[in-house]
Structure 1
Amino acid sequence: MATDEQVHKVSLKVLVDKEKNKVIFAEAGKDFVDALLSILTLPLGTIARLVAKESNIPPVKFGSLSSLYESVSHLEDKYLRTQTCKEMLLQPRNSMESYCKHVKLNIDDTEPTKYFLCANLNCSIVSGRQLSIFRYQRCRCGNLMNREVFPIEVIPGNGFVNEIATFIICDDLSVLPNVVGTSVSLLRKLGIKDMATIDERNVDISKREVVDILKLSLLSKTPLTDFILEKKDDNFNPINQPQIGIGEKSSYESRKMDVKVLVRKSDSKILFVEAEADFADYFSVCSLYLWVECCTCLMDALP
């Protein structure tokens, strides 16, 4: 019997510069492009979980985000406001779930969203109906909301791009429509004049390989080359080599939170931060950019 990995595969046509040992670009259809674009819909908690798993590439630490995720996974329930807070943080729901679940190579392994009402059948009549996407959330009446209901679903469509469209995927994962002149323009831009130096390959991609590409996209500016050609760099260590670009600094003066910071004097490194619940809540929902910038601001604020 065929496995899921064997059944759910798509093919890429990849052009490789044999002289430079580098991927020029790949030609792809809807199935692969949908999978690639779906990465942009993933919550940070889901990304941290996916890249920490084994695939063809070893587990990857996504900066300090992976440490944040792991710390929450080991946090005892008594420190959390409700029993469902850990599930919210470790298994966050994708807001575009209804689109992504129709993607052939959907890598989001989060359990599909379910809906629950109060276990007390008379509760909705007395206090108004409440709906939860967490089975063990408490209703206003105090009972668990564990009575599953099945709302009518409106299917929005199949993935993100049109069925008949084809695309050019650049080495840095830029996606371009495969229209007349696109490939020629790329070849000219990359300075490729002799077509004899180009090798054409067909590569089969499964969910496992999409996770590989996700990992490499966090570590490299040339993830297609690293993936297709399996380039080995002596200094490459997926556990501790994230490459995260930081934009210009901006100030956030509207709200301040007091924290206690322990700094090692020998190298001025922050060892840990002691803070109240509002600071921890902020980090659990903020974007990666704001998170890194706040750490930078902490260092700047130290005497």
Structure 2
Amino acid sequence: MLLIDTERERVLFAEAGKEFIDFLLSILALPLGTFIPLFEKQGMVGSFGNIYHSIDNLGTVYLQPNVNKETLLKPKLHIFGGGGGGGSGVPLKSLDFASSAKSRKLYRCARDTSKCDLYVAYDFNATCPSCSKVMNSEINFVDPPSTNGGYVKGGVTYMAMDDLEVKPMCITSTFTLLNKFNVKKLGVLKEKVIDLGMDGVC
């Protein structure tokens, strides 16, 4: 849902759920997340920098138990061969909400040994640390039903600004934002509900 200042004809913020925030934060899992701290020194970051600082400032109480901020803030880059594509090896969170709970593909070494069984990979071209064979035997990872995967917890409403800054939504932050934008009359505010899918993002 968008909160619009009709007097100044501008969107103040979007009220968003877990799925959309997971999508925004997953952008940091791309190689861009590695370069943002470097670009920041040159003043070249813009809205992507706001996403970066949003996850840095977001309290751990809002994150899934298995999410480590360092995974997003300092992603490790892998060079893929063949049809692996580029990136950090972490799949971009899809805005296809209906299929967001589907299992993701993982790969293991085809050798059936106790040491090789200790490792899994996102990419089928990865090399097993134990035997140095290609890890191209497909297995499936299933998100726990209590979390549904992603980065942030469900059951929380978030604010997404027009510059992509993200923060948990509460009465205090709402009034702080209204004051920041110098909104004096609540009557000029209008709510607009929108459905956002992959076409809207692209």
Which TM-score band (shorter chain)?
Answer: 0.5 to 0.7
Deviations 1:106-133 (A, max 9, x none): 89xxx83333426xx8xx69xx749675
What TM-score do the two structures reach when normalised by structure 1?
A: 0.38
Partner residue of 1:30?
18
Number of paired residues? 149
Tell me the CA shift for residue 14 of structure 1: 0.7
Deviations 1:91-120 (A, max 9, x none): 6511xx5x957983889xxx83333426xx
Aligned mates of 1:168, 1:135 — CA distance in 2: 37
Tell me the CA shift for residue 144 of structure 1: 7.1
Counterpart pick for 2:161 among 166, 170, 189: 170
Partner residue of 2:147?
157
Aligned mates of 1:24, 1:152 — CA distance in 2: 39
Q: Relative to structure 1, is the Cα distance of residues 201 and 101 closer, same or farther in structure 2, using a 3 angstrom cutoff? A: closer
Partners of 2:106 and 2:120 within 8 A in 1? no
1:85 matches 2:73: no
Q: How does 1:107-146 map to 2 (within 5 A)?
A: 112-117=105-110, 129=116, 133=121, 135=124, 145=134
Say what the alpha-carbon RMSD is for the aligned residues.
4.3
Deviations 1:44-98 (A, max 9, x none): 49xxxxxxxxxxxxxxxxxxxxxxxxxxxxxxxxxxxxxx63545536511xx5x
Gaps of 5+ in 2: 34-79
Deviations 1:254-299 (A, max 9, x none): xxxxxxxxxxxxxxxxxxxxxxxxxxxxxxxxxxxxxxxxxxxxxx
What TM-score do the two structures reach when normalised by structure 2?
A: 0.53
Partner residue of 1:207?
198
Gaps of 5+ in 1: 1-12, 46-83, 213-303
Partners of 1:14 and 1:201 within 8 A in 2? yes
Q: How does 1:48-59 map to 2 (within 5 A)?
A: none
Q: Relative to structure 1, is the Cα distance of residues 86 and 19 closer, same or farther in structure 2, using a 3 angstrom cutoff? A: farther
Partners of 1:28 and 1:169 within 8 A in 2? yes
Superposition misfits of 4+ residues, deviation over 6 angstroms: 137-140, 151-154
1:16 partner letter: I
2:165 partner letter: S
